[in-house]
Structure 1
Amino acid sequence: MAMYLQNISQVGAGAEAAGFFASMTTMILVFGIIGIALYVYSAIVLMTIAKKTKTEPAWLAWIPIANLYLFGKIPKQENLGIALIVLSVLSIIPIIGALTGIASLVIMIYLWCKIAVIRGKPEWWGFLMIIPIVNLVIMGILAWSD
């Protein structure tokens, strides 16, 4: 009798594990699709801004890491673009990673402020880039407004 009850409990555990696996797989797929969509959107935005500011090569917007160089090159701050690349590499080191994240955020806000001015918008728009969803709207305005 005890063996029968043990087998029943194991069947329930397998079903729970399968349900957990299915939900985790779904979550990974959904977030993966969202991540890819956001990457494509940001690459299109960066490439459009590069073309409108006559910054070459605009196709760098599609290459991970290299797009950071283009991001610095648009406002004529290539050294900051290179600094972002170095900070990205250093971010994998424990403890230093948190500091590089803060430094990267400051540099990115500065560069977005400069890009906003180049595109004829107020400099403070660069600070709006830290607000989720709002940053996507601001990026679109900077890319596609006249």
Structure 2
Amino acid sequence: MDEMCDNITALARERGEAWLTGGGLRPTRQRLSLATLLVGDGRNRHVTAEGLYAAARDSGEQVSLATVYNTLRAFCEAGIMSEITVDAGRSYFDTRTDDHPHFFWEEENRLSDAPAEELELARVPAAPAGAEITRVDVIIRLRKS
């Protein structure tokens, strides 16, 4: 059983390292630890900095909240994550970087992917002179009825 857990852990670390190097980032110990938490199981995640900080601490990683924020920003700058701003005081970081809409579950303060194939945008306003559109974020806010 321990050997199987070691293999799963090794695979998770390999995924984390590949994710970092794919973004051109050097896999430092802390980056690798956070990357493993984010993509080690092969699934996409929507995390807050505080949530990732708690998960890192729970896994035994000695990391500060400031380091988590700085690392998430570096991941975004490298293009391996994107930041989704839900409101002025709340951002989520998404490991899925293709264009896709999101559901924001208000009661749960949770972000999830919405089905992109069901979204239809007929037209986007032209950017003002001297500017270009870099991306369009669609956040659909939900409340249980």
Q: Which has the higher helix share?
A: 1
Say which structure, 1 or 2, has more relative contact order (CA 8 Å, 6+ apart). 2
Same fold by TM-score greater than 0.5: no
Could you tell me the TM-score, scaled by structure 2's length?
A: 0.30
Larger Rg belongs to: 1
* Structure 1 or 2: more strand by fraction: 2
